[in-house]
Structure 1
Amino acid sequence: MKDLMYYDTCESGKRIQELRKAHEMTQAQLAEALNISLDHLRKIEGGQRGCSVDLLIALAAAFDVSLDFLVLGRGGSVAAARDKLQTLIDELTALKKGL
């Protein structure tokens, strides 16, 4: 049987907080950008409240991550995947030059 997956608001909130900090945004700036109250965002980041699908979509777009990452913690950001791929390309190019 596959592992059950569920929306853990605490873990999702932590991911949102980490993304906000990585983008050097304050809670007030993100709340304003999402058109939600500061209190609402604080509760989301604290895991006391979940996000609507519309809000998750807005967050995913704002931070260039997948919904799967925000909700379940799987995957990650598109930018991180591109960076990892570019690193691998650079390493392979260096190896090829050494042949």
Structure 2
Amino acid sequence: MAISSEERDFFVALGERIALMRKAHSITQAQLAETLGVSQQTVQAYEVGRRRIQVAALPVVAHTLSVSLEELFGEGKQAARGKRGPAPKWQQQIEAISKLPKARQKFVSEMLDTVLAQH
């Protein structure tokens, strides 16, 4: 499934942030991989933007790296300046997805991939 250059740029930047934050917390790719239930090679592919990280894995990554989802998405400085209100609906949905069984998480992820591919 092809993705736009904008989406590719997003996943490359996300992967770079994950790598920087992981290293800052002295977490290895293998340790992060174990937490996510994937291989070390998969984490490496996330970090260079070769693979898209599952939406349901994002809260786990943020928690493991001790950052907010906003920081993970590169929006932490803006969020830190303003008042914190209720979490945006998309963030609440991601957190709810992370609590679903793996099969349901995969189903939601595939639906999102389909919608994003159409955009």
Scaled by the length of structure 2, what TM-score is found? Answer: 0.54
The partner residue of 1:15 within 17, 22, 25 is 17
CA positional deviation for 1:68: 2.3
1:36 and 1:75 mapped to 2: Cα distance? 27
Render the CA deviation track for 1:42-81: whole Å, top value 9, x for unaligned.
Answer: 100011112111111100111121222223x1116xxxx6
Q: Does 1:55 align with 2:88?
A: no
Structure 2 unmatched runs, 5+: 1-5, 81-119
Q: Residue by residue, what CA displacement relative to the aligned partner does 1:12-66 show, whole Å, maximum 9, x if unpaired?
A: 0000001110111111111112211111101000111121111111001111212
| Structure 1: gaps of 5 or more residues | 82-99
Secondary structure, in 3 states, of the residue corresponding to 1:8? Answer: helix
Structure 1 segments of 4+ aligned residues over 6 angstroms from their partners: none
In structure 2, the partner of 1:36 is: 38
Count of residues paired in the alignment: 73
Between structure 1 and structure 2, the one with the greater Rg is: 1
Secondary structure of 2:76's partner? coil
Percent identity between matched residues is 40
